[in-house]
Amino acid sequence: MLVDQLLRSPRARVYLDEMTERMSREETARRQFRETMNEDTRAEFINGEVYVHSPARYIHNRTAERVYRLLDAATSRRGLGVVGHEKYLVALTRNDVEPDVCYWSREKSDAFTSDQMLFPAPDLVVEVLSSSTAALDRGVKFDDYAAHGVREYWIVDADARVIEQHVLCGDAYELRLKSSDGTLACQAIPGLNFNVMAIFDDTENHRAVDAFR
């Protein structure tokens, strides 16, 4: 492990002191980030940096909306929990992130309050790729979601019409599906099985949503 390697180094104390100082500065920056946030801001705090999101492309927004409609239809009427679409700031150990779409089981969402602005790690996270966020979605967020027990992580490429389903196994994700067709069997939401095209096509999306009415 990396920690063991560092502890074997004669410079271990130097590294520890430098990391402690940097993490202290990062915590101060994170507090400032939270203090300046408001309901009109869409931004994330990741590894000490603030990422302010620019307006997304039409295809990105439409894809995220289809995902949201599908998850909400599959959960709301059955009382399975809460689905969030943007503007839900998820507070992880080090980072504050805003997934495109996410789902909390009822066990977690029953504790939410009306004025809550920071939320715990979801059970399912969906990120729709864009050129400005792809590296984060496949990098630090991928590792962070797994480290915080997010049971399932979907990465959606709206341009290629491909969805990746990653399921948590132990402390790491296992790729269960990468496809532009076929059936996705969700692990985090009971009973959610749907045609992958429901993410990319309005007609298929309406058909999938209607199945839960």
Query: Residue 140 to residues 47, 59, 196: CA-CA distances in angstroms?
Result: 9, 24, 26
**pTM score:** 0.93
Alpha carbons within 13 angstroms on the beta-carbon side of residue 185 total 1
The fold of the 54-210 domain, in CATH, is tt1808, chain A (3.90.1570)
| Cα separation values, 100 from 6, 31, 159, Å | 36, 23, 16
pLDDT at 16: 86
**Domain limits, the chain:** 54-210
Instruction: Report the distance separating Cα 74 and Cα 69, nearest Å.
Output: 9
**Whole-number Å distance between alpha carbons of 11 and 193:** 53
Contacts of 45 (CB under 8 A, 6+ apart): 29, 30, 33, 34, 51, 95, 96, 97
Rg of the chain in Å (alpha carbons): 19
pLDDT truncated to tens, each residue of the chain (213 aa)?
Answer: 778 887 888 888 888 889 999 999 999 999 999 999 888 888 999 999 999 988 899 999 999 999 999 999 999 989 999 999 988 999 999 999 999 999 999 999 999 999 999 999 999 999 999 988 999 999 999 999 999 999 999 999 999 999 999 999 999 999 999 999 999 999 999 999 999 999 999 999 999 999 988
Give tens-digit pLDDT for 110-120: 999 999 999 99
Helix pair 202-210, 58-75: axis angle to 10 deg: 10
Residue closest to 48 by CA, chosen among 140, 133, 125? 140
pLDDT tens-digit readout, 36-76: 988 888 899 999 999 998 889 999 999 999 999 999 999 99
Element (H, E) at 105: strand 101-105
